[in-house]
Amino acid sequence: MHIQDLKLFPISVQPQSFPKTGQAVQGVSISDTRTVHCLPQSELPLTSKHVVDKVSEKPSKGCEKLTFFMVTCSGTVGAIVTCPLEVLKTRLQSSGLALRRPIFQMHLGTLSGTGVIRPGTVTPGLLQVLRSILEKEGPRSLFRGLGPNLVGVAPSRAIYFAVYSKSKEVLNRMFSPNSGPVHMSAAGFAAFVTNSTMNPIWMVKTRMQLEKKARGEKKMNALQCARYVYKSEGIRGFYRGLTASYAGISETMICFLIYESLKKRLAESRYSSPNSNLEKRASDFLGLMLAAAFSKGCASCIAYPHEVIRTRLREEGSKYKYFFQTGRLIAVEEGYAAFYRGLIPQLIRQIPNTAIVLSTYELLVHLLGESK
């Protein structure tokens, strides 16, 4: 994503903008009529040279590297702050909740006129799971899996944004520039590459978060957990849940489709006024942050069931083997509501995190573009 994406008003380079008929200006002939997506209508150039410079202007590789570095730093901070929420989400998604207890329901109106007592289960809520972890395992357990998370968050952010930007650049030359299909395809491919690369690290993180040890008991670190997975399940064990991650690509595509659409509308509303100030204001980036938060919230609610299936697939020695088999078992044994366990901590964790990362990315691209 580049700051040019924020300015989506197309203008055409008309023949009368050139000094003389038939004269070429830096490779642009009189017959050219180009659509320029980096200039709003309120920022029309005074010369054709200005147009050509704006069209050819691209961030340098050094600027892009610095941008990715800053985005990964913001992602790292977000991972540390939201780690307890992720642990709670993973525990709620799992099949072996420590607080699950039998209950009894009386159903009257049978043929004999007597009551029937049937055992059932109740699923603990967010606060109950939090209380259980603090009482039985201690507050440090809320940061289980933080090590592999910190190891993986930087390369995953860098890989994702690099592939997304490059894919969008290529797709813009093949299809209508900055259209919905371009954003969805670029986001989907970036998520596919990132998931395929980073799944072993996320697998170890999930196993560590699901490990339940009482206070004082020694817990496995990331390296010990990785060795245990390799010894017991082999290389294939590190790729458990990958199919669910692929299914979760739909969440990324939905998120970026909504985000890019909202970003375009924000740009249109900003430049629609003839007296609009072209300088970036803090409110512009606040708008982008709110757009990112709304986009992530909608996408998470729509595609959340794959998160539950992925956690079940990564459980040690579980009966869950394949994506559709896991989904079918959850639906039959626990009901469709089980697909949304842990949604609240997921929204609390992901919405501000995504909003900060995306708005930080946009801000850095803008600042680096102005510094050139």
Say how far apart CA 283 and CA 2 lie, in whole Å.
19
At residue 63 the predicted structure's pLDDT band, cuts being 50, 70 and 90, is: low
Question: 47: which 2 tokens?
Answer: 């010369």
Cβ burial, residue 324 (10 Å; 0-12/13-18/19+) = exposed
pLDDT digit string, tens, across residues 133-150: 999 999 999 999 999 999
Phi and psi at 165, nearest 5°, equal -65, -45
Residue 308: the pLDDT is 96
CA 287 → CA 178, 180, 305, distances in Å?
19, 20, 29
**The overall pTM is greater than 0.85:** no
pLDDT digit string, tens, across residues 250-293: 998 888 889 888 988 888 887 765 555 555 566 677 888 888 88
Question: 210: which 2 tokens?
Answer: 């699901």
Residue 277: the pLDDT is 56
pLDDT of 350 > 60? The answer is yes
Q: Which residue has the higher pLDDT, 87 or 155?
A: 87
Residue 111: the pLDDT is 44
Residue 311 CA, distance from chain mean position: 17
Say how far apart CA 11 and CA 45 lie, in whole Å.
11
Looking at residues 201-223, what average pLDDT do you find?
Answer: 88
Residue 124: the pLDDT is 77
| Bridge partners, 116 (sequence order) | 107
Residue 76: the pLDDT is 80
Looking at residues 100-120, what average pLDDT do you find?
Answer: 46
Superfamily of domain 59-371: Mitochondrial carrier domain (1.50.40.10)
Residue 371: the pLDDT is 60
Per domain, the residue ranges of the chain are 1-58, 59-371
CB 83 within 8 A of CB 349: no
